[in-house]
Structure 1
Amino acid sequence: MRRPVLAVMCLVALAALVGCGGATAGSPSPAGSSSPAGSSSPAGSPSPTSTPAPHPSATAPPLTTPSAPPAKPKQVVVLDPGHNGGNASHPTEINRPVPAGRGRTKPCNTTGTATNAGYPEHEFTWDVAMRVRDLLTAQGVQVIMTRQDDTGVGPCVDQRAAIGNQSGAAAVVSIHADGSTAASAHGFHVAYSSPPLNDAQGQPSMTLATTMRDKMVAAGFPTSTYIGSNGLSPRDDLGGLNLSERPAVLVECGNMRNATEAAAFTTPAGRQSYAAAIATGILAYLG
């Protein structure tokens, strides 16, 4: 009877030993076994539940290049060189009446005057206007000419005013030279429409006229001794000014019959000096 009891006791002891060999809660896993959920990972292995820290550049806002400011629209100036080289050979066309404002009509255009030696006004005004155009263009101003050469006819005074009106010009400047028969008469004057027929002919044209006058005086040109007062000449009879809906003036650069002024008109250096003063006046007005 002792041998069966001993066998049973041995079996119970063996079962206890096998049970003690199992892992208990909180005890380390045997080597080579996988870790239970929630246990720490072996050294050197990334944690399955952790996320690598982002690189600083990954969280920074994207770099943007500031856009350039929009280009400032160019200011428009209309230059109106008086008369034209073909006018004298087309009397019927230039003598036809056209509207001149204030209920009046005037001839389409005229031939202009000349120095005693025959240098014509239309050639002088064209040359000076081209020089003014180049000076303004170099400063970023858009220039529109009322005529494109010195060999054509016209345009008529009402057409010249329309060019300025349709362009929305910031300023319209007509360039002329006078032809007083008094040889002693000299000096420039700036004409403007008076009394004004619209807002543009009011303060804006007056400011343009006085600014032009001041800059020409600063350039050394004397004011007229025979027309207007202190270099300014209010007029109600000039069609181009009466019909203008933009700030407009007419610059009479001097008397072509005066020997001193005629000498300046007929030289490139003299014409450049007038052009520089006129361009300076326009730029000062535009601000």
Structure 2
Amino acid sequence: MRRAGAGAALAVLLLAGCGGDPAPAPAAPSAATSSSASSSSSPAVVPVETPTPPPAVPAPPPAPAPVVVLDPGHNGGNAAAPGAIGAPVPDGAGGTKACNTTGTATDAGYPEHAFTWDVALRTRDLLVAHGVEVVLSRPDDTGVGPCVDVRGALPGQVGAAAFVGIHGDGAAAGGSGFHVITSSLDPAGPEVAAGTDALAAALRDALVAVVPPATYVGSGGLDDRGDLAALNLATTPAVYVECGNMRNAGDAARMSDPAGRQAIAERLAAGVLSFLE
């Protein structure tokens, strides 16, 4: 009985090794199980919020350009209109004076109105190149006027920081040099008067590099008067610059020469820019 049992057991083993169905492989874990296992082993991902940038602050608007009035004295048409330029206008001191005059000239005939117009244009171009807005009191050198009271009112009308009248003097031939004139009446009050003094000093300090101070009037290149309507009526710092004596041979040579006029214009522009700073 024991032998028969052993043979039966051997037969069963032989059948299993020779073509019998293999034992089933262990089942793979389900997707749900795998995912669950993966989730349980990985840290949770926390979304990072991108901070919202603050709103852009607009840049402040640029400061407006300073305004300067350049007043080239007289005009090319004045001599042909004696009635117009002789008409009385307020002088800013309680009286009247003539609307304008023809101006002076060198002994060779170079007229003041042409000198002042040329120097004004040269000075304007230099100031504009430095960001200054320039207003001229007359548009050309062929018209009549404007009257001195109109010229004096102009800087207040355009909000100017400074008014510079450009002239050439017609004094005795023995006197030479430039001088800067201010109003002795201080019509616009002490603050404007202080600004006028500062403007006059800045122009005087600039001009001495190319023209000596006057030998025949004022002191150190400065003078003040109460009879100049444009200065009396101005409500901003205002001066006249007599750039030289056109009846003096040395001054006349400089003022008649384009290079001399350019040098004067450069110093006028330098003085104005110094004042504006």
TM-score per shorter chain, which class?
0.7 to 0.9
Deviation at 1:275, TM superposition (A): 0.3
2:107 alignment counterpart: 116
Closer, same or farther: CA 44–168 of 1 in aligned 2, 3 Å:
same
- Checking the alignment, whether the CA contact within 8 Å between 1:201 and 1:244 is kept in structure 2 is no
1:26 alignment counterpart: none
Give per-residue Cα distances to partners, 1:240-286, cap 9 Å, x unaligned: 00001010000000100111111111111000000001100000000
Deviation at 1:110, TM superposition (A): 0.4
Closer, same or farther: CA 265–64 of 1 in aligned 2, 3 Å:
same
2:9 alignment counterpart: none
Aligned-residue RMSD, C-alpha: 2.4
In structure 1, how many angstroms separate the alpha carbons of the residues matched to 2:269 and 2:92? 28
Q: Output aligned runs, 1:87-166, within 5 Å.
A: 87-166=78-157
Give per-residue Cα distances to partners, 1:155-202, cap 9 Å, x unaligned: 00011111111111100000000011x222100000001131222541
1:24 alignment counterpart: none
1:61 alignment counterpart: 52
Closer, same or farther: CA 46–274 of 1 in aligned 2, 3 Å:
farther
Deviation at 1:233, TM superposition (A): 0.6
1:267 aligns with 2:257: yes
1:204 alignment counterpart: 195
- Checking the alignment, whether the CA contact within 8 Å between 1:78 and 1:169 is kept in structure 2 is yes
- Checking the alignment, whether the CA contact within 8 Å between 1:265 and 1:271 is kept in structure 2 is yes
In structure 2, how many angstroms separate the alpha carbons of the residues matched to 1:125 and 1:133? 12
* Residue in structure 2 matching 1:251, options 241, 260, 263: 241
1:42 aligns with 2:36: yes
Amino acid at match of 2:119: V
In structure 2, how many angstroms separate the alpha carbons of the residues matched to 1:134 and 1:166? 22
TM-score (norm 1): 0.81
Amino acid at match of 1:42: S
Deviation at 1:211, TM superposition (A): 1.3
In structure 1, how many angstroms separate the alpha carbons of the residues matched to 2:116 and 2:40? 89
In structure 1, how many angstroms separate the alpha carbons of the residues matched to 2:98 and 2:40? 99
Secondary structure of the equivalent of 1:202?
helix
User: Matched residue pairs, number?
Assistant: 249
Amino acid at match of 1:236: G
Q: Output aligned runs, 1:186-225, within 5 Å.
A: 186-199=176-189, 200-217=191-208, 219-225=209-215
Amino acid at match of 1:249: V
Closer, same or farther: CA 146–60 of 1 in aligned 2, 3 Å:
same
Secondary structure of the equivalent of 1:42?
helix
Amino acid at match of 1:43: A
Deviation at 1:221, TM superposition (A): 1.5
1:71 aligns with 2:49: no
1:23 alignment counterpart: none
* Residue in structure 2 matching 1:226, options 216, 220, 224: 216
In structure 1, how many angstroms separate the alpha carbons of the residues matched to 2:82 and 2:182? 28
- Checking the alignment, whether the CA contact within 8 Å between 1:81 and 1:146 is kept in structure 2 is yes
- Checking the alignment, whether the CA contact within 8 Å between 2:188 and 2:236 is kept in structure 1 is no
Deviation at 1:33, TM superposition (A): 10
Secondary structure of the equivalent of 2:261?
helix
Amino acid at match of 1:270: G
TM-score (norm 2): 0.83
1:285 aligns with 2:275: yes
